[in-house]
């Protein structure tokens, strides 16, 4: 199921573009993310790079952490953009993280005819689950 973007989703994309435009730093911050929770709150963040590349943290993870710190992780929509403001799909780890915190979340991704919103579960077939 692919959905065209609502005005709220378009505003979310613009927020992600604003955060990376303000905070881009070569070699340190190259992805911006914005998410909106079902309560209407918006959280935006940038990717954190490190000298040791394997400890980099994705912008999506930081935005989700900000939402968690505020006690509001019921994500309605989330989007990431690169330094040029182009929408980019989340990496596999972020897909897992988004689906863990908000299995009904919509993720804005590049599509055949422009940006579109898709359910996170469509981006993560056969999701890993723990045996509890």
Q: Which domain holds residue 57?
A: 7-123
Residue 113 located in a structural domain = yes
CB 11 within 8 A of CB 38: no
- Count of structural domains within the chain: 1
Mapped onto helix, strand or coil, the DSSP state of residue 31 is strand
Q: What is the CATH number of the domain that holds 97?
A: 3.40.140.10
Residue 60 annotated among the catalytic residues of the structure = yes
* Dihedral angle sign, alpha carbons of residues 1, 67, 34, 27: negative
Residue 130 located in a structural domain = no
Residue 90 located in a structural domain = yes
Q: Which of 83, 73, 79 is closest to 94 using CA atoms? A: 79
CB 38 within 8 A of CB 8: no
pTM: 0.92
Residue 44 located in a structural domain = yes
Which of 60, 76, 86, 116 does the annotation list as catalytic?
A: 60
Residue 104 located in a structural domain = yes
Residue 46 located in a structural domain = yes
Residue 56 located in a structural domain = yes
Per-residue pLDDT of the chain (132 residues; tens, 9 = 90+): 566 899 999 999 999 999 999 987 777 788 999 999 999 999 999 998 888 767 889 999 999 999 999 999 999 999 999 999 999 999 999 999 999 999 999 999 999 889 999 999 999 888 777 765
Residue 20 located in a structural domain = yes
């Amino acid at each position: 199921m692919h959905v065209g973007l609502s005005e709220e989703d378009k505003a979310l994309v613009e927020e992600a573009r604003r955060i990376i435009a303000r905070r881009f730093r070569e070699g340190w911050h190259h992805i911006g993310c914005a998410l909106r929770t079902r309560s209407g709150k918006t959280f935006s963040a940038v990717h954190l790079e490190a000298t040791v590349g394997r400890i980099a943290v994705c912008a999506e993870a930081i935005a989700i952490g900000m939402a968690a710190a505020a006690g509001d992780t019921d994500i309605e929509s989330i989007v990431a953009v690169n330094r040029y403001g182009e929408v980019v799909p989340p990496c596999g780890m972020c897909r897992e993280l988004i689906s863990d915190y908000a299995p009904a979340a919509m993720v804005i991704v590049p599509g055949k005819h422009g940006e579109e919103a898709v359910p996170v579960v469509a981006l993560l077939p056969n999701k890993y689950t723990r045996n509890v």
